[in-house]
A and B are shown apart, each in its own frame.
Chain A
């Protein structure tokens, strides 16, 4: 059975780019465009991994990550944080919030996501 990836990202373009790259690798991908949607979808569909954009408009990504990690149903799901904030303290905050990886949004972002998913055993 194909592994399922949930992308929580409010930019359609960025979401689509990731989605297509991941689908090409044989993954099943769903997209949530808000933190609320992301939370709900994660709880109901229990994806194999969540790719979380930290810069969502109405909800602090770090908080969402922490919530997912604290909630017993979703705590086991690896979370890869994707963000424009690439300063050291942001990375730390992300990792402390429970993220399994923290990837800045630069031109290598998609490539790095794929590599991380490989290391996580999803790909």
Chain B
């Protein structure tokens, strides 16, 4: 029997899903109506809009989410007023609604995370929404019909202010028989049929053709199928082993055949038993005969045994053949079923790309408004589908790229017009699936990349020498913007802060075994092209021997495999390096990186070798060569994500099961490249920049001990040293102390803190002569554009929202700033 808590938990889970749908639908409808005020189906859309808010309100109530219910109620009131023609959908009206819809999402996140919820931060918004309704002008135009509302429409008149109600008759106190107020429907059955026929597109049989399923079930199914695939591989091995056994009996047959002549001879020499003759002289003869007889007896026994053995072998052989054949058939069937099942399960996890792309309209609108630019988004999803995990990861990537296009690609309207371009910029996003890869193209018609500025910046930052820069092609220069720390530092921008963040984008994509490239034509625009596999669940893995252990690496991450001569290894700036195609490349030993000890026999072996195998990993300017002890082969393997509590393990991205049941870790190529390069810059033959002797030091400020500890652990695991502070005042103290003791390299701070909050702390730091250049990252649960702007205005370099917390992105952002 369920307890109240259990009931509410289930109901909440249902609400969590339902609210997302209603919010999404409401946002889309509102956007459509806002953009197209003369929409031919305006009234229907408004009705639908009202319904979405209404359902949101009802669901919130049933789920006991009173804060959300309140927000939804206000939104509903606004929509009701719009529906009646009392309010128009101007940006002033729509903005708070979008904000409220977003806030509902935030609150849901808080509830899911078990955080306390309060409406206090939303009071101003609630007031604004109420004000919209209160200032509404009474219904004017006749198209403001209250459709679908009540039946007694004929009876109700919205009383304009000032009409004297004194004429209205007052009904008698004792109630007469009930009068029917409903407008007359001639025949209720007919009306029912009419409305049924209008809306019954779904015949009764269609009712049960779809089901709702929790994604955990799908993930589990996928895991099980993965195990099944491993079993299939073992079954195949088994069948092969059995088959190999049958070869043993073939060998026996050969041996037996070769022995036949000798056997026959032995058999024919079998002595006939002679009668014993009692002669004295013959006693010795007898003894000889006896000895001979005994010897012959032994031979007979042996012969018999051999014959029996052969018979047995024939029997074994025949049965073994049958078993081998059955095993083979079983494996074939298992493999076929498993493949089909794997395919089906993969498909269940597939979502159409539209689920990823459609919300981008709204997000782009916000970005464009904040940047005061006029931008249109065109989407073509090409009917593509991809695994939901892939879509989730692509979402962040696309947001980043869009932000980048809005900030840097697209020119302000005046500039565009002056160049002869239309004032409204167009960003096109197209997708296409080919085989098991997805290609996404994001193109803007903006200013394109400024090659000279890039070259100049690269030289300035010490990433390239003048000569290097001169010889680089335009495409190679463009590729530089993916480097960490390559940013337009001059313009502290409202949206992007100080970094362009494209390094994060590339890391994310490479983590997905994908590629990103860009093309840019000055004055015309920039196009980013992304290739990713549509499914992250299985991939071709290269099996490597590292020290005494086995590791796996996605084949797509490996650019080349080369033989390295011992003499070819050079030492540059304290790092081992190889010269490949006239460019230096960092060389590391995977065994050292992973901390794998070699057995003494291995070391001896290696010492004697003049040639070692190395893998080239990474792309563009960030490539490294990795020494390995052996390549064991390539296999299609099922990728398992690391289960909690193992989610973040240095250098490891996941795990897979081999046919023999061994668990093999899958290496995270991005982490490896980073670890190898060490200080996040390219290896260059000429520049100075010395590597810091000590690990970077980060100050973490947060008034919650849980958050502080969590962040500290993550950072220390990534190799940083960490100090802690509970609020802004303490943080400033510690910073001042630290500057005398080696200094602090980055500040990571919460916003909501006693005594001094994160915004003020940032401003203090920027105002202080010594601390001015300290990179500041704000980490917070507040996620409104206003807060982000405030953070950037205060001088923060980056702004991470707790709700969207992803450890990889967290570390990538920090790495980029240090």
Contacts and interface: CB of A to CB of B under 8 A. Distances in A.
Interface of A: 10-14, 16-18, 20-21, 23-24, 34-37, 39-40, 55, 57-60, 62-64, 66-67, 70, 84-85, 89-90, 92-93, 96, 105-107, 109-110
Contacts of B15: 13
Q: Which of B18, B58, B150, B198 has the most CB of A within 10 A?
A: B58
Interface stretch (B186-194, B315-323, B810-818): B186-194
A67 to B, nearest CB: 5
Given A14-B58, A39-B196, A106-B61, 17 more contacts: A13-B18, A14-B59, A20-B7, A24-B2, A35-B196, A36-B199, A37-B204, A58-B195, A58-B198, A60-B151, A60-B195, A63-B195, A70-B188, A70-B189, A96-B178, A105-B58, A109-B62
Contact of A11 (B58, B192, B195, B199): B58
Contacts of B18: 11-13
Interface string B529-554: 00000000000000000000000000
Contact of A62 (B57, B61, B151, B202): B151
A13 B68 CA distance: 14
Nearest 5 pairs of A and B residues by beta carbon: A58-B199, A13-B59, A17-B62, A14-B62, A13-B15
Contact of B200 (A36, A55, A93): A36
8 contacts: A11-B58, A12-B14, A12-B17, A13-B11, A13-B15, A84-B54, A109-B62, A110-B62
Contact of A17 (B11, B151, B180, B182): B11
Q: Which of B1, B10, B11, B198 has the most CB of A within 10 A?
A: B11
Given A37-B207, A40-B204, A105 B189 contact: no
Q: Which of B51, B59, B192 has the most CB of A within 10 A?
A: B192
A63 B150 contact: no
B755 interface: no
A57 B195 contact: no
A11 B62 contact: yes
B716 to A, nearest CB: 42
Q: Which of A18, A60, A109 has the most CB of B within 10 A?
A: A60
A67 B191 CA distance: 10
A112 B204 CA distance: 32
A18 to B, nearest CB: 8
B336 interface: no
Contact of B55 (A10, A34, A92, A96): A10
Contacts of A64: 192
Contacts of B200: 36
A114 to B, nearest CB: 13
A105 B57 CA distance: 10
A13 B438 CA distance: 36
A2 to B, nearest CB: 14
Contacts of B17: 12
A19 B14 CA distance: 12
Given A16-B10, A16-B14, A96-B180, A59 B62 contact: no
Contacts of B192: 59, 63-64, 67
Interface in B50-79: 51, 54-55, 57-59, 61-63, 66
Nearest to B203: A36
Nearest to B1: A24
Given A89-B152, A93-B181, A24 B7 contact: yes
A110 to B, nearest CB: 8
Interface string B161-198: 00000000000000000101110010011011001101
Contacts of B151: 60, 62, 93
Interface residues of B, number: 39
A17 B150 contact: no
Contacts of A106: 61
Interface in B115-156: 150-152
B191 A63 contact: yes
Contacts of A62: 151, 182
Contacts, number: 105
Contacts of A57: 51
B2 A20 contact: yes
A93 B150 CA distance: 10
Interface string B715-756: 000000000000000000000000000000000000000000
B7 A90 contact: no
B13 to A, nearest CB: 9
Given A17-B11, A92-B181, A96-B178, A63 B199 contact: no
B59 A85 contact: no
Nearest to B185: A63
Nearest to B193: A67
Contacts of B152: 89, 93
Nearest to A24: B2
Contacts of B14: 12-13, 16
A65 B151 CA distance: 14
Given A20-B10, A105-B61, A67 B182 contact: no
Contact of B59 (A11, A20, A36): A11
Contacts of A105: 58, 61
A11 B59 CA distance: 7
A18 B7 CA distance: 10
A27 to B, nearest CB: 13
Contacts of A84: 54, 57-58
A93 B191 CA distance: 17
A37 B431 CA distance: 39
Nearest to A37: B207
A77 B14 CA distance: 29
B686 to A, nearest CB: 64
A55 to B, nearest CB: 7
A15 to B, nearest CB: 8
Interface string B337-366: 000000000000000000000000000000
Nearest to B178: A96
B150 A21 contact: no
A64 B18 CA distance: 25
Contacts of B63: 13, 17
Given A36-B196, A60-B151, A67-B192, A11 B55 contact: yes
Contacts of B202: 34, 36
A66 B188 contact: yes
Contacts of A13: 11, 14-15, 18, 58-59, 62-63
A106 B64 CA distance: 11
A48 to B, nearest CB: 21
A80 to B, nearest CB: 16
Contacts of B182: 62, 93, 96
B186 to A, nearest CB: 13
Contacts of A17: 7, 11, 62-63
A68 B152 CA distance: 21
A6 to B, nearest CB: 14
Given A16-B10, A66-B188, A59 B180 contact: no
B612 to A, nearest CB: 61
A107 B196 CA distance: 32
A63 B188 contact: yes
Contacts of A40: 204
A90 B151 CA distance: 9
A85 B148 CA distance: 13
A112 B798 CA distance: 52
Contacts of A24: 1-2, 7
Contacts of A92: 178, 181
A5 B180 CA distance: 29
A105 B1 CA distance: 25
Contacts of A109: 61-62
Contacts of A110: 62
Contacts of B189: 67, 70
Interface in B432-479: none
Q: Which of A17, A89, A90 has the most CB of B within 10 A?
A: A17
A34 B58 CA distance: 16
Interface in B1-48: 1-2, 7, 10-11, 14-15, 17-18
Contacts of A96: 178, 180, 182
